[in-house]
Amino acid sequence: MNRRNTLIGLGLAPLVLAGCAHDAPPVRWYELRADPPASPPAPRPGDGAVWEVASMVRLPGTLDRDTLVVASGAAGVERLSGHRWVEPLRASIPARLVTDLAVLRGEGLVWRAPVQSGVKVDKRLRVQIDTLIADAARRSLQVKARWWLSDERGSPTAPVAGEADFQVPLADTSVDALAAGHRMAVWQLAQRIAGG
């Protein structure tokens, strides 16, 4: 009798597992696209300094995960189940920031650390994002960031610090618009850093 019950149980196991898999919502994947989301402004003459951008951008804990999140209530965040980043933001934000700064400053003037041998670095850039989250209604993305640009040419000056606090309007309340808003936020942050 026990053996018969075991065989029946084993026969039903795949059906039970299939039922669970059927109930799980499909995962939708999002990415920060490589190309800037808008046309760059007209080039301005720069100082020609070569920048090395730190390979890591400090992020708040809410962004150091693979699931997209939005604000919820007075102090909470809500994970959007089934909506994930293809590449974690801790990896994609620094890569896109370097790409955007290179577009804005000029070819060969922006490198991600560590730079290849033979490249002489004039300035080092560190970036910290304190806030990058959509409001609960998903109408806009709040961005707060700070950065430090230190001179590596031998002058004993303190790093030049900058900060930004701005909002990126979202096209609609979809998760796709939310993900696109993150990419626009990185682009706008790069413009502020390059212009400062």
Least confident of 2-16, 115-129, 148-162: 2-16
- Mean pLDDT for the chain? 87
Least confident of 41-55, 122-136, 158-172: 41-55
Query: Is pLDDT at 171 greater than 60 in this prediction?
Result: yes
Mean pLDDT calculated for residue range 36-54: 84
pLDDT tier at 135 (50, 70, 90 boundaries)? very high
Query: Is pLDDT at 193 greater than 90 in this prediction?
Result: yes
Map out the domains of the chain as residue ranges: 2-32+47-195
Residues 6+ apart with CB under 8 A from 25: 81, 82
- What's the half-sphere exposure (Cβ side, CA atoms, 13 Å) at 141? 28
Cα(122)–Cα(152) distance, integer angstroms: 5
Share of residues in the chain with pLDDT > 90 (%): 65
Q: Let me know: does 170 contact 178? Beta carbons within 8 Å.
A: yes
pLDDT tier at 7 (50, 70, 90 boundaries)? very low
What pTM does this model have?
0.84
Mean pLDDT calculated for residue range 71-90: 92
Query: Is pLDDT at 65 greater than 60 in this prediction?
Result: yes
Collapse the DSSP code of 52 into the 3-class scheme (helix H, G, I; strand E, B; otherwise coil) and give the result.
Answer: strand
pLDDT digits (tens, 9 = 90+) for 8-37: 555 555 544 555 555 677 999 999 999 998
**Fold assignment, 2-32+47-195:** Rossmann fold (3.40.50)
- What's the half-sphere exposure (Cβ side, CA atoms, 13 Å) at 128? 10
